Amino acid sequence: MTSHTDIISIESAVHLAGLFAERVKRSPDDLACRQFDDLTQTWQVFSWEQMDQSIAIWRAALANEKLNVGDRVAIMLKNCREWVFFDIAALSLGLVTVPLFPNDHAENAAYILADSGAKLLLLEDFSQQEELAKQPVVVGLNHIVSLKHASEVSLANAISLENWLPDNKVSVAAKEGIDPHDLASIVYTSGTTGPPKGVMLSHHNMLWNAWAGLQSLTIYSDDNFLSFLPLSHTLERSIGYYLPIMAGATITYARSIPQLAEDLLEQHPTVLISVPRIYERVYNRVQDQLKEKSTIARKLFNAAVNIGWLNFEHQQKRADWQAGLLLYPLLNHLLGKKIQDKLGGQLRIAICGGAPLSELVAKTFIALGIPIFQGYGLTETSPVVSVNTMEQNLPRSIGLPLRDVEVQFSDEGELLVKSPGVMQGYWQNEQATKDTIDKDGWLHTGDLGKQDDQSFIHITGRLKDIIVLSTGEKIPPADMEMAINADPDIEHALVIGEGKPFLSSIVVLAEQAWPKLAEQAGLLTADPQELKSNPEIIDLVLQKLGDCLTGFPSYAEILAVTLTLELWTVENDLATPTLKARRPHIIERYQAEIEQMYQGH
C-alpha cells in the first residue's frame, strides 16, 4: 500500500463540491472509479480529471434549470458515476440533493418529492416507473431526467439525459461562497416505524464524518472500495463516497447484488462497506455447506475458527501466546484463504453498520482472516458515531467514539450523542427535532447501551422495541432475532409478545430448509405451501428456535410460531434499504396469524 499522506483536510475542502475540486487538483490523472458498461460488456475506468469534465457539463445542465440556491433536486439511481456527476454538480451550485432509494415504492418516493419540494428528479429509466408516473407530484417537477427511454413516456416534463445535457463546450462556474454549514442534503430516514422524516445535513456534517472516519481506519490512495450499499443510505454516501475522495482512493461500482459474488472475485476490493445481512448470508451458506462435509472436515473448520480467533485475540493483546498458534499459518492457508479468496483475496477492511452483527458471525469471519470492523451510527449523525479500529477491535461492541464525539447515557440507559455530525434538524418538522435533540444539544438515539471501562460502546436494545410480557418480564427482541437469524435454515425472524403471556415468532424459512424438515417429519411432500401449517413442521421449527436461543432466560422461550413464505424486502415494504425488519409493518401484515397464535391465552 502507498502513503497515507494525501488526505484532504476539512479546511482545504471547505464544502463537499470543494472536496471533489481539491481532489482533481491534487490527483487529476489518478484512477477515480470503475464502472461496468452494459453496451460493451466491459469495465471502464475514469480519472478524477475525466470525472470533473463530466461534472462541468452536468453543472451547465442544472444551471439551465434556472434554480435558486437552496432549491432541492432529487436523485433516484443505483450506485454509479452519474450519481456523483449529479450530486457534485448540484452541490457546486448551492443546490440541495435529496437521495431516494432506487427501488422505493412509488408512494414513498412521491411523498419524499412532495415533502422536500424537489424541483427536479434524476432516475435511470422512467419508462419502468409506471406507478411513479401516476403520482400527481411528478407533474409539478421542472424535469424528470431519465438515463434511458424518456421518449416512451407521455409526460411533458420527462426528458432523456442525452437531450438534457448541453453541448460539452458550455462552461458554468461553480458558485463561490458556499458556506460549510449550508444545507447540503435532505436524507429521508428509512425507519422501521412511521413515515420518513427528512434529515437535514450540512456540507460540514458529512465532511467531518468522512474526516473522522479516516482518523479511525487507515485508508490509502490505492485502496479499492466496492460500492454496493445504496448511496441513498448515508453510511455509503459519507464513508463509501466522500471518504474515498478525501483519501484519493478508487471506487468500483458493483453491478448488482445478484452479481456481487462475481464482482468481488473480479475487482479484488480492499475495502467493503456492508450491512449485517450480507455477512449473515455468507455465513449461513458456509454453515450449510459444512453440513454436507465429513466429520473430519467440520472438525478442521472449527479448529481453524478457534485457532484463528485465538490468534486475533493475541494480536489485540487480550490473550497470551499459546502453542496452538503454531498451527495458525497452516489452518489459515487451508481454510481461511478459501473464504478470503471468495471476497477477492485482498480485503483489508470490512465495515459493518446499519444494524447489529451477531458476535458469532463476526468471530467466524475475523478468525478466518476477514477483518470486520463493526460500527454504529444514524442518519441524524451523518452517520457514524463509533467504530472499531485495527488496534482496538472488540467485535461484540460497536467500537470507540469517533474523534470529537461525546456520548453519555440517560437514566433509562439511552445513548445520547454530541458531535459535529449531528443534523441541523428534521425538514419542516420542528417538533420532531425538539423530540430528538434536547435543549442541551444531546441527540437522543433511541438505542439502549452502555460504555465499558475501555470506552467501547455496547448497544443492548431499542428503547421503544423492548417487549414487556403480561408477566412483567422485559425482553429486548433484537438479540433473540440475531441469534435466530444465525441459523442457515432461517431467512428472517421477528419475535413478538408485547402484553402477551409468552413470546411467539413470525419466521421465514430458507428454501433449502423445507425438504430437510419434511424428511425429518417423515412427510412425503416438500411443498412449502402444504408444510407451513403442518403441526409436525411447526414443532420442529420450535425445537430449532429453542436450539438457537440456548443461554437466553427461560421466560425468553418462543412457544408459538407462524411460518410464512414471503421474504421481507424493500419492495414489499417489510424491510428497510439496510435490510432491517420493519417491525410494525410485519406485525400489521400478519395480525390475523398473531391473534391465532394467542387464541385461548
The stretch 257-277 carries a mean pLDDT of 93
CB-CB contact of 361 with 283 (8 Å): yes
* Mean pLDDT, residues 517-546 taken together: 91
- Map 214-269 to HEC letters: HHHCCCCCCCEEEECCCCCCHHHHHHHHHHHHHHCCEEEECCCCCCHHHHHHHHCC
CA 438 – CA 53 distance, rounded (Å)? 44
CA–CA separation, 317 and 452 (whole Å): 17
Cell of 568: 421481507
Q: In the structure, what pLDDT confidence band is assigned to residue 12 with cuts at 50, 70 and 90?
A: very high
Asked if pLDDT for residue 238 goes beyond 60, the answer is: yes
CATH architecture assignment, domain 11-202: 3-Layer(aba) Sandwich (3.40)
Q: Are 196 and 108 in contact (CB under 8 A)?
A: yes
Copy the grid coordinates of residue 140: 409539478
Q: Mapped to the 3 state alphabet, what secondary structure does 280-292 carry?
A: HHHHHHHHHHHHC
Q: Tens digit of pLDDT for each residue in 451-498? A: 999 999 999 877 777 787 877 677 878 888 988 988 999 999 999 998
Positions of E strands within 23-157: 31-37, 42-47, 72-76, 96-99, 120-125, 143-148
- Angle of helix 276-291 relative to helix 295-315, nearest 10 degrees, comes to 140
pLDDT score recorded for residue 59: 97
Give 185's contacts (C-beta < 8 A, 6+ positions apart).
96, 97, 98, 99, 200, 201, 206
Q: Is the pLDDT of residue 549 over 80?
A: yes
**Residue 243 pLDDT > 80, yes or no?**
yes
Sign of CA dihedral 424, 426, 428, 434: negative
C-alpha distances out from residue 584 to 239, 581, 591, Å: 30, 9, 10
pLDDT digits (tens, 9 = 90+) for 339-395: 999 999 999 999 998 878 888 899 999 999 999 999 999 999 999 999 999 999 999
CB count in 10 Å sphere of residue 575: 21
Question: Can you give the pLDDT at residue 162?
Answer: 92
pTM: 0.84
Pairwise CA distance, residues 371 & 386, whole Å = 17
Q: Where are the alpha helices (DSSP H) in 476-578?
A: 477-485, 513-521, 528-531, 535-548
Average pLDDT score over residue span 241-247: 98
Contacts 24+ apart (CB under 8 A), 129-136: 131/105, 131/106, 131/107, 132/106, 134/106, 135/106, 135/107, 135/109, 135/110, 136/110
Mean per-residue pLDDT over the chain, rounded: 92
Domain positions in the chain: 11-202, 275-462, 467-597
Domain 275-462 belongs to what architecture?
3-Layer(aba) Sandwich (3.40)
For position 38, what pLDDT does the model report? 92
- Going by C-alpha positions, the residue among 3, 44, 46 that lies closest to residue 24 is 46
Cα separation, 561 vs 495, whole angstroms? 9
In this predicted model, what pLDDT tens digit does every residue of 271-327 receive, in sequence order? 999 988 788 888 888 888 898 899 999 999 999 999 999 999 999 999 999 999 999
Measured CA to CA, the distance from residue 285 to residue 507 in angstroms comes to 18
pLDDT at 152: 65
| Rounded distance between C-alpha atoms, residue 410 and residue 595, angstroms | 36
Alpha-carbon 160 to chain mean position: 30
Reported confidence tier of residue 5, pLDDT bands at 50, 70, 90: low
Q: What is the pLDDT of residue 4?
A: 53
Domain 275-462 and domain 467-597, same fold? Reply is no
- Confidence band of 601 (pLDDT split at 50, 70, 90): low
3-state secondary structure of 568: coil
192 pLDDT higher than 60: no
Q: For 391-445, how does the pLDDT look when each residue is reduced to its tens digit (9 = 90+)?
A: 999 999 999 999 999 999 999 899 999 999 999 999 999 999 999 999 999 999 9
Residue % of the chain over a pLDDT of 70: 97
Element (H, E) at 161: helix 161-164
For residue 395, is the peptide bond before it cis, meaning its omega torsion is within 30 degrees of 0? no
Residue 311, C-alpha cell as written in the block: 490468534
pLDDT in tens, 135-168: 999 999 999 999 987 566 678 899 999 999 998 7
Classified as helix, coil or strand, 165 is: coil
pLDDT tens figures, 386-400: 999 999 999 999 999
How confident is the model over 105-131, as a mean pLDDT? 92
Summarize the confidence of residues 48-67 as an average pLDDT: 97
- Angle formed at CA 310 by CA 304 and CA 311, multiple of 5 degrees: 85
The yes-or-no verdict on residue 190 having pLDDT over 70 is: no
- Measured between alpha carbons, how far is 15 from 174 in angstroms, rounded to an integer? 12
Q: In this model, does residue 499 exceed pLDDT 90?
A: no
pLDDT in tens, 30-44: 999 999 999 999 999
CATH H-level, domain 467-597: superfamily: ANL, C-terminal domain (3.30.300.30)
Residue type, 209: N
